[in-house]
Amino acid sequence: MQKQVLDKVVAITGAGSGIGKAIAIELARYGAKVVVGSRTEAALIEVVEQIKQAGGEAVHVVTNVKNKEDLLRLVNTAVDTYGRLDVMVNNAGVAHISPIDELDLNEWEEMIDSNLKGVLYGMAAAIPIFKQQLSGHIINIISTSGLKIVPTQGVYAATKNAVRTLTEAFRQESDGTIRITGISPGYVKTNLVNTVKDEAKRQQVIQAMEQLGLPPVAVANAVIYAVSQPAHVEVGDIVIRPAKQN
């Protein structure tokens, strides 16, 4: 598997912490060259330093996925630094939990802008490069929240199911030159829960994460599996969750 990942150039959004950070570190450990993006530069610098201290290659670009220009800068940095882009990992996202009838439009808009439009902007930035290269791989990090609909997660799940739909649509539209994979994690121990404003709901999710949550490296391993397949093999959909998760 390491041979197939060696020297691949991978751009990753939301890479300052959690799943994105784990993806960056593990890919670099396997010999990939990673370009990490997130909104917090201090966190990105720490990730890059950790990778370099372990003998890997990485650069960072401050990236807010709500801004299409930031995504263009991320992928262009990959090409300018390493000569190409092999994989685009659209990982950044936010989660707000509340009943729909609370009508928190600001939270809805933030999730739509980050979870859906941010993925579209990432795809739009990478696809022209992949077309020019005649190769490329898009990885969209989705969620099991869209597979099992539960109260208080309606809008969050809706954004994730929208990404699931566009991922499958692109797969069908592609001639195989550009591969695409959707990965849906279940409970993972990350700081995504910090965006939940309601204290009681946040504590409930934290408790579930502590009891069930997978380490972020489990999702990173799923990414590595998908990108390490031969060029004629496309892994379309991966669901990865704790064995005890309902």
Give pTM, 2 decimals.
0.94
Does any domain span residue 213?
yes
pLDDT reported for residue 212: 80
Does any domain span residue 246?
no
Does any domain span residue 245?
no
For 122-138, the pLDDT digits (tens) are: 999 999 999 999 999 99
Between residues 241 and 213, which one has the greater pLDDT?
Answer: 241
pLDDT reported for residue 110: 96
Average pLDDT over every residue of 91-110: 94
Does any domain span residue 244?
no
Q: Is 169 left (phi over 0), alpha (psi -120 to 50) or beta?
A: alpha
11's enclosing H/E stretch is strand 9-12
Amino acid type, 185: P
Does any domain span residue 33?
yes
The total domain count for the chain is: 1
pLDDT reported for residue 181: 98
Q: Say if residue 2's pLDDT is above 80.
A: no
184's enclosing H/E stretch is strand 178-185
pLDDT reported for residue 198: 66
Does any domain span residue 198?
yes
CATH number of residue 88's parent domain? 3.40.50.720
Please give the residue range of the domain that contains residue 203.
2-239
pLDDT reported for residue 191: 73
**What number of other Cβ atoms are within 10 A of residue 186's Cβ?**
23
Average pLDDT over every residue of 7-26: 97
For 50-69, the pLDDT digits (tens) are: 999 999 999 999 999 999 99
Which residues belong to the active site? 156
Between residues 208 and 47, which one has the greater pLDDT?
Answer: 47
Average pLDDT over every residue of 75-88: 98
Average pLDDT over every residue of 40-52: 98
For 168-225, the pLDDT digits (tens) are: 999 999 999 999 999 999 989 887 666 666 676 767 777 767 778 899 999 999 999 9
201's enclosing H/E stretch is helix 199-212
